[in-house]
Structure 1
Amino acid sequence: MNDEYKSIHKFDLELIGQYFASLKRQGPGSPEVTIKALSFIDNLNDKSLVADIGCGSGGQTMILAQHAPGNITGIDIFPAFIDLFNQNAEQLDLQDRVKGIVKSMDDLPFKDGQLDLIWSEGAIYNIGFERGLNEWRKFLKTGGYLAVSEGTWFTEERPAEIEAFWMDAYPEIDTVSNKVAQMQKSGYMPVAAFILPENCWTANYFAPKVEADEVFLKQNAGNKNAEEFIANQRHEAQLYQKYKDYYGYAFYIGKKI
Structure 2
Amino acid sequence: MTELELIIDLHKNSERQGPGSEKDTLRALDLLNLPTDQKLKVADMGCGSGGQTILLAKKLNAQIRAVDLFPEFLEELNEKAQKLGLGDKILTLEKSIDDLPFKNEELDLIWSEGAIYNIGFENGLKIWSDYLKMGGYLAVSEITWISHSRPKEIEQFWKTEYPEVDVASNKIKQLENNGFTLVGYFYLDQESWIETYYKPLQARFGTFLKRHNNSELARKVIEDYQAEIDLYHKFKDYYSYGFYLAKKN
Q: TM-score with structure 1 length normalisation?
A: 0.92
Inter-partner Cα distance in structure 1 for 2:225 and 2:178: 33
Q: Deviations over 1:101-147 (max 9, x none)?
A: 21111111211100000000011111111100111000000000000
Which letter maps to 1:107?
A: D
Q: What's the counterpart of residue 246 of structure 1?
A: 238
Inter-partner Cα distance in structure 1 for 2:211 and 2:103: 42
Q: What's the counterpart of residue 150 of structure 2?
A: 158
Q: What's the counterpart of residue 138 of structure 1?
A: 130
Equivalent residue in structure 2 for 1:196, among 188, 193, 196: 188
How far does residue 59 in structure 1 lie from its aligned partner after superposition?
0.4
Residues 28-47 of structure 1 aligned to structure 2 (within 5 Å): 28-45=19-36, 46-47=38-39
Inter-partner Cα distance in structure 2 for 1:139 and 1:161: 39
Q: What's the counterpart of residue 8 of structure 1?
A: none
Q: Please say which of residues 246-255 and 217-226 is displaced more in the overlay.
A: 217-226
Equivalent residue in structure 1 for 2:81, among 86, 89, 95: 89
Q: What's the counterpart of residue 106 of structure 1?
A: 98
Structure 1 unmatched runs, 5+ = 1-10
Residue 43 of structure 1: SS of its match in structure 2? coil
Q: Please say which of residues 140-149 and 170-179 is displaced more in the overlay.
A: 170-179
Which letter maps to 1:160?
A: K
How far does residue 41 in structure 1 lie from its aligned partner after superposition?
1.7
Inter-partner Cα distance in structure 1 for 2:236 and 2:152: 14
Would the aligned equivalents of 1:194 and 1:251 in 2 still touch at CA under 8 Å? yes
Poorly superposed stretches of 4+, deviation over 3 Å:
none
Q: Deviations over 1:155-176 (max 9, x none)?
A: 1221122112212221111111
Q: What's the counterpart of residue 176 of structure 1?
A: 168
Inter-partner Cα distance in structure 1 for 2:155 and 2:210: 33
Would the aligned equivalents of 2:31 and 2:183 in 1 still touch at CA under 8 Å? yes
Structure 2 unmatched runs, 5+ = none
Q: What's the counterpart of residue 7 of structure 1?
A: none
How far does residue 241 in structure 1 lie from its aligned partner after superposition?
0.9
Would the aligned equivalents of 1:55 and 1:76 in 2 still touch at CA under 8 Å? yes
The answer to whether the aligner puts 1:14 opposite 2:15 as a matched pair is no
Equivalent residue in structure 2 for 1:129, among 121, 134, 137: 121
Q: Deviations over 1:182-232 (max 9, x none)?
A: 111111011111111111001000110112111221122243222111111
Which letter maps to 2:244?
A: Y
Inter-partner Cα distance in structure 2 for 1:37 and 1:222: 40
Would the aligned equivalents of 2:188 and 2:241 in 1 still touch at CA under 8 Å? yes
Aligned-residue Cα RMSD (Å) equals 1.3
Would the aligned equivalents of 2:45 and 2:67 in 1 still touch at CA under 8 Å? yes
Inter-partner Cα distance in structure 2 for 1:214 and 1:165: 27
Identity of aligned residues (%): 47
Q: What's the counterpart of residue 4 of structure 1?
A: none
